[in-house]
Amino acid sequence: MATVKDTTGTPKAPRKATAKAAAGNDAPVMNGVPMETATKDGEGVRRRDFIHIATVSFAGVGAAAVAVPLVSQMSASADVLALASIEVDVAAIQPGQSIKTSWRKQPVFIRNLTPEEIAEANKVAAGGLRDPQTLAERTQPGKENWLITLGVCTHLGCVPLGAAAGEVKGEYGGYFCPCHGSHYDTAGRIRKGPAPTNLVVPEFAFISDTIVKIG
């Protein structure tokens, strides 16, 4: 009730001058508090205005609180998030070979680059590329031969070719997306075609010489 009193009679209320003026001797009074403080021209805050606003606000806050679970139930559930990181043993991958694995239900390419492929990637001036990045920026220090990227073309999400033996690797010897003809080089960088950015490098770390943790 104190809040109601504040709204109707004290200087805290908006339009305080009008409210105070109207709270004179003529105004109806309940429990010592003026009930109606609106003036004849419709100004001022009435007790009923406060009740209306309080009611609608209360219902609004309640509706917003209920909306939280209704919206959040659509986000990734705990069992999906539990599989958010994977560990892969890369010991068997020889230089020049690559494997496809699955991480967060998306293909991941793990490629053991040959020295020639590394040299070819480093030969290019990164500054002139569509998405300027060096091979070193896309690999771990000391493990420059391990190129780990998502197998998801950054154009519209197809899986590029070039990871499995015998697949077309594109004009730059890396990956080639058959959907709309994007060519990636041996560092997984976009060189030709519609894709806007390089193949995404996920967060990864070598937890031993041969085991890499992705995610």
Partner 1 sequence: MSFPWAQQYKPQSTVMQWVDERLPLPRLVYNAVGAGYPVPRNLNYFWNFGVLAGVALVIQIVTGIVLAMHYYASIDGAFNSVEHIMRDVNAGWFLRYAHMNGASFFFIVVYIHIFRGLFYGSYKAPREMIWLLGVTIFLLMMATAFMGYVLPWGQMSFWGAQVITGFFSAIPLVGEPLRQWLLGGFAPDQAALNRFFSLHYLMPFVIAGVIILHVWALHIPGSSNPTGVSVKGEQDTVPFHPYYTAKDGFGLGIFLIAFVVVTFFAPNLLGHPDNYIPANPLSTPAHIVPEWYFLPFYAILKAFTVDFAIPFTGIILVPAKLMGVLAMFGSILLLFFLPWLDTSPVRSGHYRPLFRKFFWFGLIPCLVVLTYVGAQPPYTQWVVLSQLGAAYYFAHFLIILPIISRIERPLPLPNSITEAVTGKPLQTEAVAETPLRPAVA
Q: Whose Cβ is closer to partner 1: residue 78's or residue 91's?
A: 78
Which residue has tokens 């770390």?
A: 205
52 a catalytic residue: no
* Closest approach of partner 1 to the CB of residue 215, in Å: 18
Which range binds partner 1 by CB under 8 A, 8-16, 65-73, 100-108, 158-166?
65-73
79 binds partner 1 (CB under 8 A): yes
Residue among 2, 32, 42, 72 that touches partner 1 (CB under 8 A): 72
Which range binds partner 1 by CB under 8 A, 21-29, 71-79, 107-115, 137-145?
71-79
Which range binds partner 1 by CB under 8 A, 25-33, 76-84, 91-99, 131-139?
76-84
* Closest approach of partner 1 to the CB of residue 75, in Å: 6
Site residues (vs partner 1, CB under 8 A): 55, 68-70, 72-75, 77-80
The catalytic residue positions are: 180
